[in-house]
Chains A and B, each alone.
Chain A
Amino acid sequence: MRSLGKLKTLLLLGMALPAVAMSQARAADVEVLHWWTSGGEAAAIGVLKEQLAEQGVGWTDFAVAGGAGSSALTVLKSRILAGNPPTAAQMLAQAVREWGQEGLLTTLDEVAAENDWDGILPEAIQNIAKFDGSYVAVPVNIHRSNYIWSNSKVLAEHGLSIPTTWDEVFAVGEALRKAGVVPIAHGGQPWQEAMLFENILISVDGGPETYRRLFVERDATAVENPAFAEALDIFRRLKSLMDPNFAGRDWNLATGMVITGEAAMQFMGDNAKGEFVAANLKPGVDYACTPLPNTQDDFLFYTDSFAMFEATNEESKKAQQIMAKTILEPIFQEAFNLRKGSIPVNQKVSLEKFDSCALNSREGLEAAAAQNTLMPSFAISMAVPPAVEGAMFDALTNYFNNDSVTVDEVKAGFVNALRQ
Chain B
Amino acid sequence: MPFANSNKGVAATAATSLPASTNRYLGWSERWLPKLSLFPTLLVSGTAIYVFIVWTGVLSFTGSRMLPRYNFVGFDSYRAMFATERFGVAATNIVIYASLYIAISLALGLLLAILLDQKVRGEGLLRMIFLFPMSLSLIVTGVVWRWIFNPGLGLEKFAYDMGFVDFKLDWIINPSLAIYTLVIAAIWQSSGFVMVLMLAGLRGVDGSIIRAAQIDGASMPYIYWKIVLPLLAPVIFSATVILGHLAIKNFDLVVAMTNGGPGYATDMPATFMYAYSFERSQIAVGAASSIIMLGVATLLLVPYLYIQIRRGR
Among A248, A390, A402, A416: residue with most chain B CB under 10 A: A248
- Given known A-B contacts A74-B279, A390-B275, A401-B175, A188 and B66 have beta carbons under 8 A apart: no
Please tell me if the beta carbons of B68 and A245 are within 8 angstroms of each other in the complex: no
Question: 1/0 per position for B274-310, CB-CB distance to A under 8 A?
Answer: 0110111110000000000000000000000000000
Q: Which of A218-226, A336-344, A349-357, A392-400 contacts B (4 or more CB under 8 A)?
A: A392-400
CB of A247 within 8 A of CB of B261, answer: yes
**A247-B172, A247-B173, A387-B65 known; A397 and B264 CB under 8 Å?**
yes
The answer to the question of A116 belonging to the interface, with a C-beta cut-off of 8 Å to chain B, is no
Q: Nearest A residue to B86 by beta-carbon distance?
A: A394
Check: B162 CB closer than 8 A to any chain A CB.
no
CA distance A188 to B151 in the complex (A): 14
B63, chain A: closest CB distance, angstroms: 12
**In the complex, chain B residues whose CB is within 8 Å of the CB of A189:** 259, 261
B91 shortest CB reach to chain A, Å? 15
Given known A-B contacts A102-B67, A247-B173, A401 and B280 have beta carbons under 8 A apart: no
Counting chain A residues whose Cβ lies within 8 A of the other chain, the interface size class is 35 or more
A98 in contact (CB, < 8 A): yes
* In contact, A70 and B279 (Cβ under 8 angstroms): yes
List B169-203 residues whose CB lies under 8 Å from chain A.
170, 172-173, 175-176
Chain A 1-34 interface mask (CB, 8 Å, partner B; 1/0): 0010001001001110000000000000000000
Other-chain residue from A73, A74, A188 in contact with B261 (beta carbon distance below 8 A): A188
A391 interfacial by beta-carbon distance below 8 Å: yes
Chain A contacts for B146, CB-based, 8 A: 248
The answer, yes or no, to whether B48 is at the interface (CB within 8 Å) is yes
Closest-CB distance, A95 to chain B (whole angstroms) = 9
Residues of B within 8 A of A243 (CB): 152
B258 touches A247 (CB 8 A): yes
Partner of B281, one of A247, A248, A386, A416: A386
Main secondary structure of the interface of A (DSSP, over half): helix
Alpha-carbon gap, A402 to B55, bound state (A): 38
- List chain B residues, Cβ under 8 A from A70: 279
CB atoms of A13 and B175 under 8 A apart: no
| Best-buried of B146, B152, B262 by chain A (most CB within 10 Å) | B262
Q: Are A244 and B152 touching (Cβ within 8 A)?
A: yes
The reply to whether B152 and A102 contact each other, CB–CB distance below 8 Å, is: no
List of A residues within 8 angstroms of B170 by Cβ: 244
Q: Are A390 and B48 in contact (CB under 8 A)?
A: no
Shortest beta-carbon distance, B67 to chain A, in Å?
6
Question: What are the residues of chain A within 8 A of B172 when measuring CB–CB?
Answer: 247
Residues on A with C-beta less than 8 A from B55 are 13
Contact with B along A358-396 (1 / 0, CB 8 A): 000000000000000000000000000111011100100
- Cβ 8 A contact of B265, one of A7, A15, A402: A402
A-side contacts of B281, CB under 8 Å = 98, 385-387
**B66 pairs with A244, CB closer than 8 A:** no
Contact with A along B60-96 (1 / 0, CB 8 A): 0000011110000000000010011110000000000
Specify the chain A residue showing the minimal Cβ separation from B173: A247
CB of A325 within 8 A of chain B?
Answer: no
CA distance A98 to B283 in the complex (A): 14
Known contacts A387-B281, A394-B264: A14-B47 contact under CB 8 Å: yes
> Which of A10, A247, A413 is the most central at the interface, judged by chain B CB atoms within 10 Å of its CB?
A247
Contacts A14-B48, A386-B281, A387-B280 given; does A245 touch B262 at CB 8 Å: no
* 10 interchain residue pairs of minimum CB distance: A401-B263, A245-B152, A401-B262, A390-B280, A397-B263, A386-B281, A398-B263, A402-B175, A74-B278, A386-B280
Q: Can you name 26 A-B residue pairings with CB atoms under 8 Å?
A: A14-B48, A70-B279, A73-B279, A74-B279, A98-B65, A189-B261, A190-B263, A244-B152, A244-B173, A245-B173, A247-B261, A248-B146, A386-B66, A386-B279, A386-B282, A387-B282, A389-B280, A390-B276, A394-B264, A397-B261, A398-B85, A398-B263, A402-B175, A402-B176, A402-B262, A413-B85
Residues of A within 8 A of B (CB): 3, 7, 10, 13-15, 70, 73-74, 77, 81, 98, 102, 188-190, 243-245, 247-248, 385-387, 389-391, 394, 397-398, 400-402, 413, 416, 420
Sample of 20 further A-B pairs with CB below 8 A, known A14-B47, A190-B263, A402-B265: A13-B55, A14-B48, A73-B279, A77-B67, A102-B66, A188-B261, A188-B262, A244-B152, A244-B173, A245-B150, A245-B152, A386-B66, A390-B276, A394-B85, A394-B86, A397-B261, A398-B264, A401-B261, A401-B263, A402-B263
Chain B residues engaging chain A, CB cutoff 8 angstroms: 47-48, 51-52, 55, 65-68, 80, 83-86, 146, 150-153, 170, 172-173, 175-176, 258-259, 261-265, 275-276, 278-282
